[in-house]
Structure 1
Amino acid sequence: MQTTVLAVLAAALLSTAPAVGAAPDGLGFQWPHGQKTAVSLGYDDALDTQLDHVIPALDRAGLKGSFYLQLSSPAVERRLDAWRAAARNGHELGNHSLFHQCSGRAAAWVRPQRDLDTTSVAQMQDQLALANTMLYAIDGQRERTFTVPCGSTQAGDGDYLPAVAGSFVAVKHGGTLLLAAANGALRTIPVDAYAPNGHSGKQLIAMVEKAAARGRLVTFTFHGVGGEHLATSSAAHDELVQYLAAHRQHYWTDTLLNIMTYVRQQDRGDD
């Protein structure tokens, strides 16, 4: 079982002087428009339930999510038009590799040809570069974020993350969020990171409120919603989405690409 910026914020957002919220924990700047925190709704593995349940729920609420596509997933080829439509509607298509390489020592379900333990750093570089090219063919976008499959970056001959970091604006690595500089260097961003699995709507909302209490960015990494693996119920997911939509003055819910572009701009003093 697998675990797992489209566009810079509008010039007006950065050039005007909107009301601002508290400085995010450890970051030294403020979220735009008075929001208490930023919320990234992420979805790994390119699953049918994400197209069937998640995207319609987000669209009804006027919120945008980040969908990390394993490009070899049957749901990519079979439903390519639906993924293209999601991208046209402002959702992010992120990189989750071609084959979801994970450590065979850590997970018995890993196929031998997809075992990270026997894959080289150079092979992972090639795989992620090709995945970016395939994503470009789907949505026409150049900038990406990346979610590390299984949270493991230790290839057979070393850690592959330093070799690929420069290809991404940001990387989700287990419970860590990394911001990539232009030179490929990585900076750890304070984050409350959650991978829901059977949580209730109330529990999901409490996670957001906990992060908001200190102005800390919160990321969710969902898998199945309403079915498939590591599933969250549609009802629980809808409750969270409706809560975020009803309290958008407090929570900036956007793609991880847009959020991290904003963070990178503030880091450079471009605000």
Structure 2
Amino acid sequence: MKRPLWAAAALLFCSSAASSATITWPNGQKAAVSLSYDDALNSQLDNAIPALEQHNLRGSFYLTLASDVVSARLGEWRTAAANGHELGNHTLYHPCSKSQPGTDWVLPFNDMDKRTRAQMRAEVMLANGYLLAIDGQQERTFTPPCGHTETSDGNYLPDVRDLFISIKGAETSLPKGFSSLALPDGQSGKELIDFVKREAKDGGLIQIIFHGIGGDHLAVSSEAHAELLTFLDANRDIYWTDTYRTIMRHVNAQQPADK
């Protein structure tokens, strides 16, 4: 069964109160688009990055640092970062809540229900250190695995917020309702484009969280992905497509005017 193409931020994470400031984009575009790719998958290196670079677009890649694909292809991730792609934090081991539906695959040591907030902070900090060794970047963004944030002693996001310039789906510097999230799983290029067009009507930030591209899990085809990139490339005057880190730097820089 396909997951819904669109999802409100509240469905994934509990967002904090946001600024009521109006956000504008660098060249007067109608909306910003963040293309991100979770879990450090082979198909992202093989298919997603070449397609992005063909269109001179850049994406955000949230690495699960214990993945074999990170260690086996470390040089390629380093090259991706040098070419302008963002490497984001997706923890070391990708912990999720085993009490949630569809998480039978979660190993006992990765069960968020048995983790503590302090343990999660320690893991996230270590992941940041690993990422620093790969790309030399100090500013980082974070996507919580599975969108699960509750540990045995509460929500851990407040304990790690100081480590990041933004946390995907839990942004504190975006006006309420300003961001929309999609998690594609098998959708066509037309469906992806229609989602962008629909969500851009009111402006704001459109976030598409991919996993596999032409392979691996929760995949969309390389053709569908390429169709979306072609559309975004051809409509740069309407949609500002950039890394989540760059977009959120831009958003955060506008906040002092609202104070």
TM-score greater than 0.5 by the shorter chain: yes
1:215 aligns with 2:203: yes
Query: Aligned partner of 1:103: which letter?
Result: S
DSSP-derived class of the 1:34 partner:
coil
Query: Aligned partner of 1:166: which letter?
Result: D
CA offsets 1:210-258 (integer angstroms, 9 cap, x no match): 1221112100100001011001000000000111011111110000000
Q: Residues 236 and 135 from structure 1, CA distance in 2 versus in 1: closer, same or farther, beyond 3 angstroms?
A: same
Q: In structure 1, which of residues 70, 75, 97 is the aligned counterpart of residue 69 of structure 2?
A: 75
Q: Bigger shift: 77-86 or 209-218?
A: 209-218
1:88 aligns with 2:76: no
**Contact kept in structure 2, 1:179 and 1:260, CA below 8 Å:** no
Q: In structure 2, which of residues 158, 171, 178 is the aligned counterpart of residue 178 of structure 1?
A: 171
Q: In structure 2, which of residues 221, 234, 238 is the aligned counterpart of residue 233 of structure 1?
A: 221
DSSP-derived class of the 2:172 partner:
strand
Q: Residues 262 and 59 from structure 1, CA distance in 2 versus in 1: closer, same or farther, beyond 3 angstroms?
A: same
Moved segments of 4+, more than 4 Å: 186-189
1:115 aligns with 2:111: yes
Offset at residue 164 of structure 1 (A): 0.5
DSSP-derived class of the 2:202 partner:
coil
CA offsets 1:62-107 (integer angstroms, 9 cap, x no match): 0010000000011000000000000000000000000001001111
DSSP-derived class of the 1:68 partner:
strand
User: What TM-score results when the alignment is normalised by the length of structure 1?
Assistant: 0.85
Percent identity reads 51
Partner Cα separation in structure 2 for residue 254 and residue 45 of structure 1? 19
Offset at residue 196 of structure 1 (A): 0.5
Offset at residue 179 of structure 1 (A): 3.5
Q: In structure 1, which of residues 39, 53, 56 is the aligned counterpart of residue 50 of structure 2?
A: 56
DSSP-derived class of the 2:257 partner:
coil
Q: How does 1:144-223 map to 2 (within 5 A)?
A: 144-172=140-168, 176-179=169-172, 190-223=178-211
Partner Cα separation in structure 1 for residue 178 and residue 22 of structure 2? 11
Query: Aligned partner of 1:36: which letter?
Result: K
**Which runs of 5 or more structure 1 residues have no equivalent in the other structure?**
4-24, 181-185
Q: How does 1:95-106 map to 2 (within 5 A)?
A: 95-106=89-100
CA offsets 1:144-167 (integer angstroms, 9 cap, x no match): 110010111101111111000111
Q: How does 1:34-53 map to 2 (within 5 A)?
A: 34-53=28-47
Q: Residues 177 and 205 from structure 1, CA distance in 2 versus in 1: closer, same or farther, beyond 3 angstroms?
A: farther
**Contact kept in structure 2, 1:68 and 1:94, CA below 8 Å:** yes
Residue correspondences, number: 239
**Contact kept in structure 1, 2:21 and 2:175, CA below 8 Å:** no
Q: Residues 98 and 127 from structure 1, CA distance in 2 versus in 1: closer, same or farther, beyond 3 angstroms?
A: same
Partner Cα separation in structure 2 for residue 215 and residue 259 of structure 1? 14
Corresponding residue number in structure 2 for 1:10: none
Corresponding residue number in structure 2 for 1:260: 248
